[in-house]
Chains A and B, each alone.
Chain A
């Protein structure tokens, strides 16, 4: 007999793709990323940092800058190969101070993207769980192919690195760096094992 009990896992951990689609709003061909990070800072502080989108370039590797247009609109300038950039405008679609922020790119943008970031209390004294949900749906051809490569080849890698940088910056005041001297010729393919 199959149990009717539904477990307490977040939808992103479900083995059932239908359940993921239904509960997170995943659509076909869309790269969807869900990742949670615990940050040892109060909810209000992390919310305030994120709500000023211009802060995010500090922690997001691909983002050159985000310009605030008005209270709800922002322009995302994202790095592209050969020193070029790609831009799109995003609008805030949901905003509950200290609890969540959601945004999506405006209609007609080169990159259809949306994001949602939720702030949940961790156990008392243990800071805030920050859950990010990003989706990207680039068009076919040209710049779209490049965007697909950037965001979809390893859809989780960029998000998890960006969230690590967010945590580092908010907890320590710096983005951790091991930049320093070496005798390497900077070919990362030469890594041992």
Chain B
């Protein structure tokens, strides 16, 4: 089959690789009909995520048709499914608490050591996202082996198009959980840093969850425009002092909840971010938390901080004093996708949540490498790229 593989920093390519096979009884094989490039794929593309190996198949947002099932899978051939990016067993203590991203069994024994050393306990499993999370082959491919297929994939009714439900795999539940972690109360003002796909879904989710106002922050005009269409007030940090603006807009109180949808590769305009960039490039530090710092300082006393943005290592100059003295509550983590699948499928089917507005580009799998470059370089115009393995390539395969 054809698949997009990681070859090193800023280098991905489409390779012919072996087809996946059923390995365990609960497995299924999916023929991919739609797969997206995620903002977090850029962290891999930029080489910030450790334990990638040359040749790893990328992609963790995908859906398709069930073509093969193991004897213990509950899926049936021919069903259309969206697959959560998190691999979860459904049997452990954590899955029992619906903390699916913390699954204790989905990361194979041999790939669990690194994250146990880094984070104290092994991480759960995820598709196409380095060997820290299991080294699973990803979904930017024609076929994918899906382990524990009786727990993850959600069956999509006929009549709902791929583009409407594809984002149930990651960014929609991630935006939804980000808003849930902000513990929104009546009358709340919620500030969202980052208007990428997760930020835009966090905006929609915060409003659906009862926020009085949502203020969205970015520097790409196109992305701010989308946030505005969804009902947010917007701030461009290139033109505006964000702390001053938030202070004034909230009558000197500050946002009740702040959501960092930016993560480890924050751009930012301040000197601290320049220092962070140098440190990250020389491996003296790994994460550039400019947005997070700003969110902590801007948040009201006793407010809530929700962090869906991806961080991997250590952050410098973390304002722990502001966090403690103001008594902020922090909630974070990878998304417990399975917990939200049915609820969000229903909201999408009922048109309560708009998903298709996000997609700026649709292309074939073969066009993937060129689009990685665009996704990286032209973030204003490329708001979401969906690859269709069945589609004719725009260019001759390399």
A188 to B20, alpha carbons, bound, how many Å? 20
Q: Which chain B residue lies CB-closest to A189?
A: B53
Q: By the criterion CB–CB under 8 Å, are B135 and A178 in contact?
A: yes
Whether, in the assembled complex, B184 has its beta carbon less than 8 Å from a beta carbon of chain A, the answer is: no
- Count of A-B contacts judged by CB separation below 8 Å: 130
Interface of B is mostly: loop
B25 to chain A minimum Cβ distance, whole angstroms, is 6
A86 to B136, alpha carbons, bound, how many Å? 33
CB neighbours of B147 from chain A (8 A): 174, 176-178
Q: Which chain A residue lies CB-closest to B90?
A: A172
Q: By the criterion CB–CB under 8 Å, are A183 and B17 in contact?
A: yes
Q: By the criterion CB–CB under 8 Å, are B134 and A181 in contact?
A: no
Question: Which of A157, A164, A181 is within 8 Å of B1, CB to CB?
Answer: A181
Whether, in the assembled complex, A126 has its beta carbon less than 8 Å from a beta carbon of chain B, the answer is: yes
Asked whether A168 and B105 contact (CB < 8 A) given A161-B110, A173-B72, the answer is yes
Whether, in the assembled complex, B54 has its beta carbon less than 8 Å from a beta carbon of chain A, the answer is: yes
Q: By the criterion CB–CB under 8 Å, are B108 and A192 in contact?
A: no
Q: Which chain A residue lies CB-closest to B144?
A: A180
B44-52, B78-86, B265-273, B372-380: which one contacts chain A?
Answer: B44-52
Asked whether A183 and B89 contact (CB < 8 A) given A172-B105, A178-B108, A188-B53, the answer is no
**Residues B1-51 near A (CB distance < 8 A):** 1, 3, 5, 8, 15, 17-20, 23-26, 47, 49-51
A163 to chain B minimum Cβ distance, whole angstroms, is 9
A174 to B24, alpha carbons, bound, how many Å? 7
Q: Which chain B residue lies CB-closest to A161?
A: B109
- Total interface residues on B, CB under 8 Å, equals 54
Whether, in the assembled complex, B106 has its beta carbon less than 8 Å from a beta carbon of chain A, the answer is: yes
A168 to B24, alpha carbons, bound, how many Å? 12
B42 to chain A minimum Cβ distance, whole angstroms, is 15
Whether, in the assembled complex, A70 has its beta carbon less than 8 Å from a beta carbon of chain B, the answer is: no
Whether, in the assembled complex, B131 has its beta carbon less than 8 Å from a beta carbon of chain A, the answer is: yes
Question: Which of A162, A178, A181 is within 8 Å of B3, CB to CB?
Answer: A181
B91-99, B300-308, B323-331, B386-394: which one contacts chain A?
Answer: B91-99
Interface 1/0 per residue, A158-193 and B, CB below 8 Å: 001110110110011111111111111100101111
Question: Which of B5, B25, B51, B134 is within 8 Å of A174, CB to CB?
Answer: B25
Whether, in the assembled complex, B196 has its beta carbon less than 8 Å from a beta carbon of chain A, the answer is: no
CB neighbours of A42 from chain B (8 A): none
**Residues B89-123 near A (CB distance < 8 A):** 89-93, 96, 104-113, 116, 122
Q: By the criterion CB–CB under 8 Å, are B137 and A176 in contact?
A: no
A93 to B1, alpha carbons, bound, how many Å? 54
Whether, in the assembled complex, B176 has its beta carbon less than 8 Å from a beta carbon of chain A, the answer is: no
Q: Which chain A residue lies CB-closest to B4?
A: A183
Question: Which of A61, A164, A192 is within 8 Å of B112, CB to CB?
Answer: A164
Q: By the criterion CB–CB under 8 Å, are A177 and B108 in contact?
A: yes
Whether, in the assembled complex, B366 has its beta carbon less than 8 Å from a beta carbon of chain A, the answer is: no
A156 to chain B minimum Cβ distance, whole angstroms, is 10
Question: Which of A40, A175, A183, A191 is within 8 Å of B52, CB to CB?
Answer: A191
Residue among A175, A182, A183, A193 with the highest chain B CB neighbour number at 10 A: A183
Residue among A171, A172, A184 with the highest chain B CB neighbour number at 10 A: A172
Q: Which chain A residue lies CB-closest to B24?
A: A174
Q: By the criterion CB–CB under 8 Å, are B105 and A126 in contact?
A: no
Asked whether A127 and B93 contact (CB < 8 A) given A172-B148, A176-B105, the answer is yes
A171 to B51, alpha carbons, bound, how many Å? 27
Whether, in the assembled complex, B145 has its beta carbon less than 8 Å from a beta carbon of chain A, the answer is: yes
Question: Which of B19, B92, B136 is within 8 Å of A40, CB to CB?
Answer: B92
Asked whether A40 and B47 contact (CB < 8 A) given A178-B135, A180-B136, the answer is no
Q: By the criterion CB–CB under 8 Å, are B47 and A192 in contact?
A: yes
Give 5 nearest A-B pairs by CB, closest first: A184-B55, A183-B55, A193-B50, A180-B137, A183-B5
Q: List 22 A-B contacts (CB under 8 A).
A: A38-B93, A40-B92, A61-B109, A126-B93, A160-B113, A165-B109, A167-B92, A168-B109, A171-B104, A172-B89, A174-B24, A175-B24, A175-B109, A177-B23, A180-B57, A180-B144, A182-B5, A182-B55, A188-B53, A190-B53, A192-B47, A192-B130
Interface residues of A (CB under 8 A from B): 38, 40, 61, 126-127, 157, 160-162, 164-165, 167-168, 171-185, 188, 190-193
Interface residues of B (CB under 8 A from A): 1, 3, 5, 8, 15, 17-20, 23-26, 47, 49-57, 72, 89-93, 96, 104-113, 116, 122, 125, 130-131, 134-137, 141, 144-145, 147-148
Given A171-B92, A182-B56, 10 extra CB contacts under 8 A: A40-B96, A168-B105, A174-B147, A176-B106, A182-B137, A183-B54, A183-B56, A192-B8, A192-B47, A193-B50
